A and B are shown apart, each in its own frame.
Chain A
């Protein structure tokens, strides 16, 4: 059983092919300005060529559905759902924050996965290591780095903070006593982690039909936010 994994929720493009507990290949690309749409399809073709896996052999496509940068996210999600529809296979959706936390499952500490949400905000979720993985103990949240710092202070747990969103705001997290910031090797959601998580879910048939796959945005469009704000004000007055 082979899966193709795609995550484009950050400035990186990450693609992997593998299955049955074996990673056959992984490509991770990052450029100063995101170029997801340009890089993703050639990366998939390269991986297939080099691993000898044909797309028709795939059992499912796994995709990191965010939260993350909207445009990049849509490139990965659209690619995954359109490919899956063409191949008549299901899609396994995994939140991209889970992909940041999962490789840190061997720590004994609380794990905070943090990705950039722009506008001085971050997407984050908290996890506790459990045998074989991590268990999420918060919602998928959006807030300022200070919101997260406050939440972690209130918990008082020893915490390992990971993700490019945390590295960008490292000064804010420096005030925390019992916290450590994971390095750049753990900063981006990796498709290799996606394949591990998705293989298990595929076995449990936790997948969905390609047309039902949607990015996890967590934030509405500005026009909707503005419109709700003004109707809210009307209601008040």
Chain B
């Protein structure tokens, strides 16, 4: 049995988790900084980094207590080393290395995106490959083909804003507050998604995404129609985003002959997106795996689970490793 302590500090969540054999989650603690960033309408990197320094000790301690283990019982320690905010990543990497020194166990640096790819397996270990994965959050929007757990390639990604970023910006423009995803999700449920025909950006061009034009379209529409119902604007905007996301995911699934469609990332908690992916799976005779919202958003269980795979395939990582804010997945 291999017990791994994972740490995640790539953006505005300070998280730690203990996972056995990359499968059994003994604890997963996430301390969100949403309140610290709310008044700025987005994540402020310097504030995030400072908060990580404050929150890490209690979060790690809680993860160990909840798991009923001590550092002596840990076999390896992992941290997300990219992609993400440079200063924030370095706090988690430093913490993980500090534990590696104290507990005298290997340190493993983990790619955040790889973590999102593996999150679904924590809840459903018998998922079938090939799988098409949509990773969609405030920082990323991409479709990935997974031929096997350790074999994947990026098929396409956003060329400008991430989908979550578009949600935040539109919510801010509509005066719905921060974070924008949950705010629009809630309001859209009461609006008419067909009220306004917003553009479906880059829906037909391979697997890449673009959301900055859609955001502009929303702004222009509201300026020209000041009396537009905000809930209809929210619902129509959300529908346009979801249309594109689901369209690309299904196209990716077709391209890699996927048996399964998987979602990951914070926007994966969006209720409309989840419903539409389930529908698309039924329509195309595939299985859909929608991890619980807690596993879609940033967490450290996915980091520990991925570290287990890395440990098996690559062995211990390098105590001299740093962080890479622009770390990528293989593929394009």
- The answer to whether A223 and B46 touch (CB under 8 A), given A37-B90, A41-B319, is yes
Closest residue of A by beta carbon distance from B57: A211
> Would you call A86 and B71 a contact (CB within 8 A)?
yes
Residue-by-residue, is B300-332 near A (CB-CB < 8 Å gives 1, otherwise 0)?
A: 000000000000000000011111000000000
A86, B97: Cβ atoms closer than 8 Å: no
Selected contact of B102 from candidates A38, A55, A75, A217, CB within 8 Å? A55
Q: Which residues of B contact A35 (CB under 8 A)?
A: 322
Whether, in the assembled complex, B49 has its beta carbon less than 8 Å from a beta carbon of chain A, the answer is: yes
A70-B49, A78-B53 known; A37-B102 Cβ under 8 A:
no
Q: Which residue of B40, B87, B101, B103 has the most chain A CB atoms within 10 A of its CB atom? A: B101
Could you list 16 further interchain pairs (A-B, Cβ under 8 angstroms) beyond the known A82-B102, A223-B40? A37-B323, A38-B321, A38-B322, A40-B94, A55-B102, A71-B87, A71-B90, A74-B87, A74-B90, A78-B53, A78-B98, A82-B56, A82-B99, A86-B99, A221-B47, A224-B47
A217 to B71, CA, bound (A): 31
| Interface set, chain A 112-171, CB cutoff 8 A to B | none
Count residues on chain A whose CB falls below 8 Å from chain B CBs: 35
- Of listed B39, B87, B91, B107, residue having the most chain A CB within 10 A: B91
Bound-state Cα–Cα, A39 to B90, Å: 12
On B, residues with C-beta under 8 Å from A are: 39-40, 44, 46-47, 49-50, 52-54, 56-58, 60-61, 71, 86-87, 90-91, 93-95, 97-103, 107, 319-323
A212 to B246, CA, bound (A): 46
Which residue of chain B has the shortest Cβ distance to A222 in the bound complex?
B46
Measured CB to CB, the closest approach of chain A to B58, in angstroms, equals 6
B54 contacts across to A, CB distance below 8 A: 214
Interface of B is mostly: helix
Return the contact of B101 from the options A36, A44, A215, A221 (Cβ within 8 A). A44
Q: CB distance A37 to B322 under 8 Å?
A: yes
Which residue of the partner chain, among B39, B60, B101, B322, contacts A227 with CB atoms under 8 Å? B39
Interface residue? A45 (CB, 8 A): yes
Which of B49, B53, B60, B93: most chain A CB closer than 10 A?
Answer: B53
A42 within 8 A of partner (CB): yes
B97 to chain A, nearest CB (A): 4
Q: Does A81 contact B (CB under 8 A)?
A: yes
A70 to B45 CA separation, bound complex (whole angstroms): 12
Nearest B residue (CB) for A38: B322
